[in-house]
């Protein structure tokens, strides 16, 4: 499965100028580790450095910050499985999601 489609990256890059303002942005994709802990919700992506992603992460606790596209794509966990994208995830306001976690 392709983690990052052109549509996902276009939406994330369009929000990059909004910085860390959760109220004004939507979460455009959800990624998870199918064999362990780790969930990442993508909010924005730097159009100049597409490896730089920013969003909400939950591994041991929930935090907002940056993470790496290449690390998500190249990760291999138990049984050699990689990170997956939630195909049924629907966009949601970032602050609304964060407050629910």
Say if residue 1's pLDDT is above 90.
no
Q: What is the dihedral of CA 71, 72, 78, 81, to 10 degrees?
A: -130
Cα 98 from Cα 101, distance rounded (Å): 5
Taking only the tens place, the pLDDT of each residue in 4-32 is 999 999 999 999 999 999 999 999 999 99
Say if residue 34's pLDDT is above 90.
yes
Two tokens, residue 66: 């940056």
Tell me if 56 sits within 8 A of 26, measured CB to CB: no
pLDDT score at 68: 98
Spell out the domain ranges in the chain. 6-100
Taking only the tens place, the pLDDT of each residue in 50-96 is 999 999 999 999 999 999 999 999 999 999 999 999 999 999 999 99
């Amino acid at each position: 499965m392709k983690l990052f489609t052109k549509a996902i990256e276009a939406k994330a890059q369009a929000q990059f100028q909004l910085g860390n303002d959760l109220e004004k942005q939507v979460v455009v994709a959800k990624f998870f580790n199918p064999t362990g802990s780790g969930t990442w919700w993508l909010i924005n992506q730097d159009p100049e450095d597409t490896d730089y992603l920013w969003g909400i992460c939950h591994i041991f606790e929930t935090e907002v910050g940056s993470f790496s596209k290449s690390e998500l794509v190249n990760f291999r966990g138990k049984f050699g499985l990689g990170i997956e994208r939630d195909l049924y995830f629907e966009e949601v306001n970032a602050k609304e999601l964060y407050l629910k976690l």
